[in-house]
């Protein structure tokens, strides 16, 4: 879909990835009020979801198995959520770093997920051509590393739930890191409510290491496949930040640190 509107779901296109209990009202995901969609006046301030993935949850353990199975058989379409019960689907709020093994996958389907973040390892899915996290209403941003999926040409994203989306222009979370900071957080255990991710990886731009105290975070909105996505950049230096491309048309034109930042008028 494009960022100019969301196409209607036609026929049974998503029949195998929707609520698996026919006629039932089983809750398989949570809801949030991060971005108000009922009118033209969004919330004045937003933040990151602070939940951490429970590694002991049955849904998470089953997802790890499904990733290994997909990596072993080299499948081209990966729809893990249809293999989980409603409660197990609710337990999954991110994807494991092991998705980096799914280099043969061309279509990743996460329809109706309970995700609140994606790991930067999604950038290692070199064969990815289509990405479908449609109606994942708690997924408000994406890692910059998704731009490494060079073959990615089609996406279906619920754009009204994204930070800075063109219809509602909700704000971006204000980023904590500072280019002038001399100390930094524990790279292996970040507070996702403050930083977005739960661990610090390599630089989103150059893939080099990020020395302790050198993390620089910025937002940039870029067209990725069919949609303009708000991307979180974790950079190792001001040089890497300066090398970022300009923002997408009708969005903030440069990288920024969120919070109170001027955005183009909404198209509501």
pLDDT at 43: 63
- Greatest pairwise CA separation for the chain in angstroms: 56
Mean of the pLDDT values across residues 255-265? 94
Q: 99: which 2 tokens? A: 């998705």
Residue 15 reports pLDDT greater than 60? no
| Total length of the chain | 268
Question: Considering only CA atoms, which of 81, 69, 66 is closest in space to residue 29?
Answer: 81
Higher per-residue pLDDT: 48 or 24 = 48
Task: Name which of 8-12, 42-46, 194-198 the model is least confident about.
Answer: 8-12
pLDDT at 17: 53
- Residue 29 maps to a domain: no
d(C-alpha 89, C-alpha 92), whole Å? 6
- Residue 12 maps to a domain: no
- Residue 253 maps to a domain: no
d(C-alpha 268, C-alpha 264), whole Å? 12
- Residue 159 maps to a domain: yes
Give the confidence band of 243 by pLDDT, cuts at 50, 70, 90: very high
Write out pLDDT tens, residues 127-163: 999 999 999 999 999 999 999 999 999 999 999 999 9
pLDDT at 177: 57
Angstrom CA distances, 61 to 74, 96, 255, stand at 20, 10, 37
Write out pLDDT tens, residues 66-108: 999 999 999 999 999 999 999 999 999 999 999 999 999 999 9
- Residue 205 maps to a domain: yes
Write out pLDDT tens, residues 175-207: 975 544 445 667 778 899 999 999 888 999 999
Task: Name which of 115-124, 172-181, 196-205, 213-222 the model is least confident about.
Answer: 172-181
- Residue 47 maps to a domain: no
- Residue 247 maps to a domain: no
Write out pLDDT tens, residues 59-68: 999 999 999 9
Q: Which residue range forms the structural domain that includes residue 174?
A: 58-242
Check if the beta carbon of residue 86 is closer than 8 Å to that of residue 59: no
Give the confidence band of 39 by pLDDT, cuts at 50, 70, 90: low
- Residue 264 maps to a domain: no
pLDDT at 211: 86
Please list, in sequence order, all residues whose beta carbon lies within 8 angstroms of the beta carbon of residue 139, skipping any fewer than 6 positions away: 113, 115, 116, 117, 118, 133, 161
Q: 45: which 2 tokens? A: 């301030």
Provide the number of structural domains found in the chain.
1
């Amino acid at each position: 879909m494009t960022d100019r509107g969301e196409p209607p779901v036609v026929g049974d296109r998503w029949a195998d990835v929707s609520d698996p209990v026919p006629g039932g009202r089983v809750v398989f995901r949570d809801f949030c009020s991060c971005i108000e969609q009922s009118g033209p006046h969004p919330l004045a301030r937003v933040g990151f979801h602070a939940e951490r993935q429970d590694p002991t949850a049955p849904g998470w353990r089953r997802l790890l198995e499904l990733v290994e199975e997909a990596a072993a058989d080299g499948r081209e379409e990966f729809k893990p959520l249809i293999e989980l019960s409603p409660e197990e689907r609710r337990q999954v709020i991110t994807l494991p770093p092991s998705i980096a093994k799914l280099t043969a996958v061309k279509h990743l389907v996460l329809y109706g997920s309970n995700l609140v973040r994606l790991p930067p390892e999604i950038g290692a899915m070199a064969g990815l051509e289509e990405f479908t996290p449609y109606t994942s209403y708690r997924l408000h941003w994406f890692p910059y590393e998704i731009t490494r999926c060079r073959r990615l040409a089609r996406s279906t994203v619920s754009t009204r739930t994204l930070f800075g989306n063109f219809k509602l222009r909700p704000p971006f979370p204000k980023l904590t890191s500072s280019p002038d900071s001399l100390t930094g957080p524990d790279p292996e255990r970040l507070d996702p409510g403050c930083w977005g991710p739960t661990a610090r990886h390599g630089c989103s731009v150059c893939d080099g290491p990020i020395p302790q105290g050198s993390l620089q975070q910025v937002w940039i909105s870029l067209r990725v496949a069919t949609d303009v996505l708000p991307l979180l950049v974790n950079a190792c230096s001001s040089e890497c930040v300066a090398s970022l491309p300009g923002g997408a048309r009708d969005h903030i034109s440069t990288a920024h640190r969120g919070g109170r930042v001027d955005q183009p008028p909404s198209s509501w």
